[in-house]
Every structure is written in C-alpha cells, then in structure tokens.
Amino acid sequence: MHITEYLQNRKKTLVSLEITPPEKGHSIQSIYQAVDLLKPYDPSFINVTYHQQSIVYEEVDEVIKKIPRRKKPGTVGICAALANKYQIETVPHLICGGFNKYETEDALIDFHYLGFTNLFALRGDPPPGFGEFEPEKDGHRYASELVEQASNLNKGKYLEELDVADPTNFCVGVAGYPEKHYEAPNLDEDIKHLKEKIAAGAGYIITQMVFSAEIFKNYVDRVRAEGIDVPIIPGIKVITSLRQLTAIPRDFHVNLPQGLVERILGAKDPGAARQAGVDFATGLCAGLYEQKVPCLHFYTMGRGQAVAEVLSNLKQKGII
C-alpha cells in the first residue's frame, strides 16, 4: 500500500521509523533488535537510508586506481528482510549521488520487480571528504529530477523508447527542511525547491529533525502558503547524551532549543541526561499531536530503546 494511503486512511496519529544499515562486516541482528523493541507500537512503515560510497585512491602495481568503498551497504536487502520478517511496509531511500540516470532506472526496475511501491528520493550528501555535491556524468543533480524519473516510469516512460512498457506504481516521498537545507540561501528558496519536487510527482514530505513544535507549525504554514498540499510528517530525534549536543547540530545542520540543551547539560549523570532527552521528545511529540500531524517519524539510527521509551509515554497519553 502507498504511504499516502496509510496517511489518508488513518484513524489516529501514525508512527514510522527510519533506520540506518549497519556498517560493513556487521549483521542485521542489531536492526532486528531495534525493530523488536518498536514493533509493539505498530509502526506503519520503516525507511531505510542509503549512503553514497566514498572514493579512495590507492597505488596498485605502480598505478593509481580509483577504488569505491561503501561503508553501509544493504538498503534493499534490509528492506526485503524487514518486510518479510515483520510484514511492515518498507521504504528504500534512493539518492542522486553515485548513479547516472541509466543506473537509476535499473535500480527503479529492480525495486519494481521486488514489489516495492514506496520510495524516498533525496539528492544525498557529498561523499566523505568532498565539500560539494557533484553528480555523476549523465546523473541527476537535484532530487526533483530523481522524482521526475520515477514519475515517468509510473507513466510507462523509460529512458529508451519502448513499443510496449508496463508502468510502475511508485509513491515517492521527499525531504523538507524546516530550518532550510544547509546549502539554501534562505528558507524561501528552499521551499521553492520543495515545490519543484512536489510538481515532479512527490506525494508526501518527511522533514529533517525538528526540535520545536512552533518551528514545525511555522514551516507548514509557509509551505501551505506556496500551494503545497501534500501530507507533511515531522521527523523526530531523541537526544540521549551530552555528545549529541555537538554532533547533531554539526552533522544535520539543525539548532537545538536552549531548554533541551540546559536539561542535558544540567543532568547529574548519563542516565539523567538520557531521561531528560526522552522527556523532551515526549513533550515535543505531544505538541506536534496538537497540530494534528498525520504521523510521527522517528530517526532511530538503528537503535530502539530511547524511541521505545518515548512511544511508551505517548501511548500512555493516548497520542498513539
């Protein structure tokens, strides 16, 4: 079923999850453990992230060779495994970086063969060690182009003109940035790019991590003022440690509210810091619930305990 159908047919606020594949050399068991913790809260779908490979140059037999290395492979395999084990809708991420449009079409065809009807389209970050994003030759520079290619396949339009071509049936989600994408000069320009993704055929939006219900509401109001009427799902990250006060803003280009920062800094020990983060996230979700958001999307990073604690609190409050 399409994600948009889950959102349209809901009778309550839904829950969804986002997980990151384990690093190369590790098993899927850590993912299963996280999902086992969260399955009792009936997640409607699970996004699985995809990461662009890094490129290293090594001298082999006196020849400099370009060697691609992927740190976190397995997005499609994890999606298939989770769908089979838990009977939950899974959503693979598809990125621009590292693929030309012909390879992208091949990936979309494989998704279609495997029975995936939901995708999440992103440009993706530059590979590790690169300051700016550069598309592959004959690749896509913008997520809107990726959405358009998937939408064309839904119409039976492939890169090669075919006499008879069966259409695909993809529902495509895209990212929104309540504090703007870090490369955008301002939020107005960022929303223009969002509008291009919706015009290309995207059916719903999941936002970057939000830590303020007010910031989310203001973002939704501005997006709606631009004529974008698709569902908008807030992304939630539970802060559980002092280290994350630095890492999250640095890696994801978001601001943390002073109230959250003070709670974490003032905690007497790691356990108290964790509890402060869980309590803050519970309050944030309650504020978002009051805005009648269709779904709460939790960035788990492959770990489930803190999210499970938040979901338990929300269940007790009757929010989910």
- Specify the pLDDT at position 240: 92
Query: How would you label 81-117 residue by residue, b for 16+ Cβ within 10 Å and e otherwise?
Result: bbbeebebbbbbbbbbbbbebeebbebbeebbeeebb
Task: Note the pLDDT tens digit of each residue in 189-205.
Answer: 999 999 999 999 999 99
- For residues 197 and 147, is the Cβ–Cβ distance under 8 A? yes
Predicted structure pTM score: 0.92
Mean pLDDT computed over 286-307: 94
pLDDT at 276 over 60: yes
C-alpha span between 69 and 128 (Å, rounded): 10
- Specify the pLDDT at position 31: 92
Q: Which domains does the chain have, with CATH numbers?
A: 3-238+294-302 (3.20.20.220)
Helices (H) and strands (E) in the chain, counts: 11, 10
Residues of the chain above pLDDT 70, percent: 92
pLDDT-based confidence at residue 292 (cuts at 50, 70, 90): very high
Task: Note the pLDDT tens digit of each residue in 126-146.
Answer: 766 667 788 788 989 999 999
pLDDT at 178 over 90: yes
- Specify the pLDDT at position 64: 55
- Specify the pLDDT at position 24: 74
